[in-house]
Amino acid sequence: MLVFKPLLSSVLVLPEQVLGIDLPQWDLLIRQARKANVLATLNILIEQANLYDSVPEQPRRHLISARVHAERFMISLDREIECIIKALGDIKIPVVFLKGAAYQLANDRAAHGRVFSDIDILVPEDRLPEVERALIKGGWMTTTLDAYDQKYYRQWMHEIPPMRHLKRQTTLDVHHNILPKTCRYSPDSAKLLSNCVRVADRNCWVLATEDRVLHSASHLFHEGELDHGFRDLCDLDSLIQQHSGKSGFWDKLLLRADELNQRIPLYYALRYTQAILDTPIPESVLHESEGFLKGRFHRYFMDFLYLRALMPNHASCNDRWTGLARWLLYIRSHWLRMPLYLLIPHLFRKSWLRLRGKE
């Protein structure tokens, strides 16, 4: 499989490559990393490789700024997590943090330098009314008031409408599953909750290691807007590299992919992390995962799409087909999310609102 690798991808795989680049290449590297939202991650890798002294002053300023921003973000994130735990303290359920907040709580390397816009939690669906009331009491309010959007979230999706704190203006997404109810690959959320892990010294939980990998994969490969696709691929690379050395990791991951109906997203995660970021994956695991996706044409067609759409969202990483690839994956994400009898009216409505300037 021939893969175009942008400068950013090459440097993330082998940070020592910065020793041979000039100022125009540094400028390109910084721009690609900023657009991909991994500039702070790039800084960490350069620091860990003891290459900081070789970085010219101009790009070093950008790296330091990204590091400071990420450090401040982590302080704010930790405070926000505590506020959520406190608000839900009287409800006797495991409050499971997802994605970026979970990486921080689990001390995953994927959290290092990661900056994001909202916090996601997972709770049992039958406890959603209690959770929502407790959060409203704690200062969060729903940001979606339109009756159709309320129906869209509450009847069909895997989360209630996003909530925003009135004072801090932070955003919280309350999930009862990791994929929409109407998605053909939606897992049994009870299996996720029954396998979650309590965070030491804190009254909160995260998904088990293999489930965090699968959630990251399902989120990325059911997503239609891939502006942060490269960053999410870096998350998967970090999770796999950190945890794959643990005994039984690969067997557990493949087994859970089968149990949670996430075999195809896992296949894509393994294929494209290895192709773009050189993630070390055993040949036996790759061979077994290839059986998840039937048909050679399908595989090559998805390569055509994802090997373009998962690149950093920067003009230097695009070719003539990138726009088409991103558009087709956007359509695919909606097709996966909802059956046609719901999808077609939904897309017509969104198009009509966009034409009227109301979305």
- Separation CA 287–CA 264 (nearest Å): 13
Residue-averaged pLDDT of the chain: 91
Q: What is the predicted pLDDT for the residue at 159?
A: 92
Confirm whether 2 is domain-assigned.
no
Confirm whether 138 is domain-assigned.
yes
Looking at the predicted structure, is the pLDDT value of residue 71 above 80?
A: yes
What proportion of the chain, given as a percentage, has pLDDT over 70?
Answer: 97
pLDDT band at 78 (very low <50, low <70, confident <90, very high): very high
Q: Which is nearest to 222 in space by CA: 329, 294, 295?
A: 329
What proportion of the chain, given as a percentage, has pLDDT over 90?
Answer: 75
- As a whole number, mean pLDDT of residues 60-86 equals 95
pLDDT band at 358 (very low <50, low <70, confident <90, very high): low
Listed in order, strand segments (DSSP E) in the chain are 96-98, 118-122, 140-142, 163-165, 171-175, 197-198, 205-206
Q: Which is nearest to 196 in space by CA: 215, 175, 174, 211?
A: 211
Question: DSSP secondary structure string, 209-239?
Answer: HHHHHHHHHHHHHT-S--TTHHHHHHHHHHH
Confirm whether 137 is domain-assigned.
yes
Sign, CA dihedral 320-322-323-327, equals positive
Confirm whether 228 is domain-assigned.
yes
Q: Which domain holds residue 322?
A: 7-355
- Separation CA 29–CA 14 (nearest Å): 13
Q: What is the predicted pLDDT for the residue at 101?
A: 95
Confirm whether 61 is domain-assigned.
yes
- As a whole number, mean pLDDT of residues 86-111 equals 93
Which two structure tokens, joined as six digits, stand for 292? 């998840």
CATH number at residue 208: 3.30.460.40
Domain count, the chain: 1
Residue type at position 153: Y
H or E, element range at 347? helix 340-355
Query: How many C-beta neighbours within 10 Å does residue 116 have?
Result: 16
116-175 residue pLDDT tens: 889 999 999 999 999 999 999 999 998 877 787 788 888 888 999 999 999 999 999 999
- How many alpha carbons fall within 13 Å on the CB side of residue 108? 31
Q: What is the predicted pLDDT for the residue at 167?
A: 93
pLDDT band at 337 (very low <50, low <70, confident <90, very high): confident
pLDDT band at 1 (very low <50, low <70, confident <90, very high): low
**Structural Rg of the chain based on CA atoms:** 21
Looking at the predicted structure, is the pLDDT value of residue 218 above 80?
A: yes
- As a whole number, mean pLDDT of residues 82-97 equals 92
Q: Read off φ and ψ for residue 142, nearest 5 degrees.
A: -65, 145
Q: Decide: helix, strand or coil at residue 349.
A: helix
Which two structure tokens, joined as six digits, stand for 169? 């203006």
Q: What is the predicted pLDDT for the residue at 174?
A: 96
- Separation CA 307–CA 300 (nearest Å): 10
Confirm whether 63 is domain-assigned.
yes
232-288 residue pLDDT tens: 999 999 999 999 999 999 999 999 999 999 999 999 999 999 999 999 999 999 888
- Separation CA 77–CA 67 (nearest Å): 15
